Amino acid sequence: MIDPNQVQHINIKIFVENPVAIDLADAIPVFHNWIKNSVCDEMLVDVADYRHVPAGPGVLLIGHQANYSLDHREGRLGLLYNRKDALPGTFRDRLNQAFGAALRATELLEDEPPFRGKLKFNRALTEVFVNDRLLAPNTDETWQALKPEIQEYFPGCVVERLGEPRDLFRVSATTR
């Protein structure tokens, strides 16, 4: 049986409403500025440009504890928060930390000068990933263990498991 409180490496993706309105190249100096000014709680160290990769990671802000990216996987642009470092506490604590970091990053990005008035995130559509296939494989067992926790965290949302067994465990939470 999977113990939700053992699950680490929670990732959150919040999608962009109008992806054609922005140029991902604008994120490069923004992310460098975030490093310079210690904008995020994590120690940020570098920026990587993967815009040349179709449906790839886009522009990546690399940190010791977590990465942030304007991710374009599956052809859907969004802010992806990827927690790499383990955190103490419960599954709910970790979900709260990851979701809070992702929300804060979306708010900051929307307010950055190159994106102001153009970039808008749809906070009514969120995906939760667990980047650990060993502790949380994309199986019915993991779904049954984590579903109550995720549904409780996103009240009033439709929560459904996505992908197939070889994918990371992934759930969408959509406001009704």
Distance CA 133, CA 94 (A): 17
pLDDT band at 162 (very low <50, low <70, confident <90, very high): very high
User: What average pLDDT does the chain have?
Assistant: 96
By CB neighbour count within 10 A (0-12 exposed, 13-18 middle, 19+ buried), where does 108 fall? Answer: middle
pLDDT band at 20 (very low <50, low <70, confident <90, very high): confident
Tens digit of each residue's pLDDT (9 = 90 or more) over 144-155: 999 999 999 999
Q: What is the predicted pLDDT for the residue at 21?
A: 84
Asked whether the beta carbons of 2 and 146 are under 8 A apart, the reply is yes
- Please give the average per-residue pLDDT across 63-73, as a whole number: 96
pTM of the predicted protein model? 0.96
